[in-house]
Structure 1
């Protein structure tokens, strides 16, 4: 009996020592065995798209310039704080290196916007604008990015302007004061003034672009929202609830660093369980949420 108890305790201690990412890999899958046609197409045609896109060069140059920028700025942090920096005075190059979204994820965001043919995009947490540039590199989209720190927002605004990403606008202020965004939403069928052609895409939007609230004429309806700001459970859930009415059937919510802390993992689990959420995809670093009413509720762990 004692031997069995010791064996059980040993297994429990061993399980606790397994790094979270290894646990993810053990439970994750790739495109094989996916029984959802929507998720299968998304994974094979977007996640694992190996084609070279010219916009990748823009994104890489944008990043390299920031990595070479030795200017020091005083950062105002409204979120969960930094696991890297002990001082609020930081070099732009260091922020780009340690805080900026990695190249692989930036490219994925670009492909996701292109594949889903998004138009109206909201980003919570501009930082230096690396993620913003990835979203806005699809020139037909409209990106609104919110940033609480005036110093990093200024750098982002300069960079976005330098690279000709005029379709991305940075608004400075605390998220709690800026949300929800009160605009007159634009019907996608009426958006004919944009000179940039929309891509040929199998996931063309349809009549599913209907808002979830009756007062939608006062709110922008978002095709994609990228949550990369305050990495706490309470704030993440609060922003999710506030912005849920601005989604439609084909919207996607992308959450950054869902395994950053126990609090973020708890928020992710609560969001997955929400009644309006039908499909979730955990890529470890990013979590994707869909609201497609025609889909059975399913949760996936997929290697990116």
Structure 2
């Protein structure tokens, strides 16, 4: 926990808004997507999805193949508590929706479904896209399927599987996935394994998003290894996410970007994030 706090303070000190970006591609992404303040009607669907989970007091038996939980001591967990502590935040859910809307990826892979908070954002961002989402826990995945039905989301293929087994067994063709959202096993070894197994699927326009890149010292080492990979051209560190682009026309650059352009809102969120790390 102390490590994450130190990492966040370092991030906040080094991060910039659009004024520190000299790449036209990244500048447009930041100003037209990250800082897009339009109130999309889909935000209401995302909110309703979240509220439905937060009101669900049922207990489910969770099978955890990842780095484990810093909150839960038992595998029997309340759905509402999983959504509150382990799910993507409301703000990041809306940002993920905007990123998907901005790039309109036709094929998406999500590694780590959990209760589907991110899945719903990916789906609503491009309703004509096809999403394959992987989850190791059958009970959690079943709960996600039930929630997706409430929004009439039908462009999601849910697979109950251990991630490494699925990725090793799959014979991926090039251009398989336009966007991959990595939110599974938050360990250095697993993250780099997934990276190596999927690197053959990239195209010039592929987008990869890694969650919790500052989760631990190991995850920060994995992020640095990814940044230094010869096929990686542009990366954006938003603290919670590491976003990767493979655009050959771009010179190799790494950005540390705040996801809000408001100075005062940024300070409020900084305090809120630090408080969240402490509690």
Normalising by structure 1, we get a TM-score of 0.82
Structure 2, unaligned runs of 5 or more: 260-279
Aligned equivalent of 1:248:
203
* Cα distance change on mapping 1:25 and 1:83 into 2, 3 Å: same
Q: Secondary structure at the match of 2:186?
A: coil
* Cα distance change on mapping 1:159 and 1:230 into 2, 3 Å: same
Q: After TM superposition, give the deviation of residue 155 of structure 1 in Å.
A: 0.2
Larger Rg: 1
Aligned equivalent of 2:150:
162
Q: Secondary structure at the match of 1:96?
A: helix
Aligned equivalent of 2:80:
93
CA distance in 2, matches of 1:17, 1:121: 29
CA distance in 1, matches of 2:170, 2:132: 12
* Cα distance change on mapping 1:81 and 1:114 into 2, 3 Å: same
Matched, 1:132 2:119: yes
Q: Secondary structure at the match of 1:179?
A: helix
CA distance in 1, matches of 2:256, 2:70: 26
Matched, 1:49 2:30: no
* Cα distance change on mapping 1:100 and 1:38 into 2, 3 Å: same
What root-mean-square deviation, in Å, do the aligned CA atoms of Structure 1 and Structure 2 show? Answer: 1.6
Report the number of matched residues. Answer: 256
Normalising by structure 2, we get a TM-score of 0.89
CA distance in 2, matches of 1:54, 1:254: 24
Which has the larger helix fraction? 2
- Counterparts of residues 59-74 of structure 1 (less than 5 Å): 59-74=46-61
Aligned equivalent of 2:267:
none
Aligned equivalent of 2:131:
143
* Cα distance change on mapping 1:68 and 1:17 into 2, 3 Å: closer
Q: Is the 8 A contact 2:178 2:202 kept in 1?
A: yes
Say which structure, 1 or 2, has more relative contact order (CA 8 Å, 6+ apart): 2
Q: After TM superposition, give the deviation of residue 162 of structure 1 in Å.
A: 2.0
Aligned equivalent of 2:12:
25
Q: After TM superposition, give the deviation of residue 33 of structure 1 in Å.
A: 2.7
Return structure 1 stretches of 4+ with deviation > 4 angstroms. 180-183
